[in-house]
């Protein structure tokens, strides 16, 4: 079985997580999520596996977060997931999927819990 990593090559944590997976001999499918964002269903599945709400997977310091008023508590799950799909820069990274589990590589060692 191979792992899937939603990766941003410009991010140090993402690069470190990828190196950690490689060092552990894991077969990896790399998805540069800024170029190929997850679908609604994929993002919903990731959130379920991480057991977090959409806002917990958002990069709140991004300008688009403020511009779209994503801190507005009236926004529902569908609106937040849609915002991440349309603006993938909002998605926290890296996300690793392996063996029907998910982990956010912050810090990178966190992904070892699902290997």
- The 10s digit of each residue's pLDDT in 12-32 is 999 999 999 999 999 999 999
63 catalytic, yes or no? Answer: no
Cα gap 113→107, rounded to integer Å: 12
pLDDT digits (tens, 9 = 90+) for 58-72: 999 999 999 999 999
The boundaries of the domain holding residue 103 are 3-114
Phi-psi region of 58 (alpha: psi -120 to 50; beta: other; left: phi over 0): beta
- pLDDT computed for residue 21 by the predictor: 97
Give the chain's domain count: 1
pLDDT at 81 > cutoff 80: yes
CATH number of the CATH domain containing 86:
3.40.30.10
Please tell me which residue in 3, 10, 11, 29 is annotated as part of the active site.
11
């Amino acid at each position: 079985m191979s792992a899937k990593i939603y990766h941003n090559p410009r991010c140090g944590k993402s690069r470190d997580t990828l190196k950690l997976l490689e060092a552990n001999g894991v077969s990896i499918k790399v998805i540069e999520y800024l170029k190929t964002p997850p679908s609604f269903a994929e993002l919903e599945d990731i959130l379920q596996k991480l057991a977090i709400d959409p806002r917990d997977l958002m990069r709140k310091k991004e300008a688009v977060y403020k511009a779209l008023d994503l801190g507005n508590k009236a926004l529902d799950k569908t609106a937040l997931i849609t915002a991440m799909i349309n603006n993938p820069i909002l998605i926290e990274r890296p996300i690793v999927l392996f063996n029907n589990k998910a982990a956010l590589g912050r810090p990178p060692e966190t992904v070892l819990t699902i290997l």
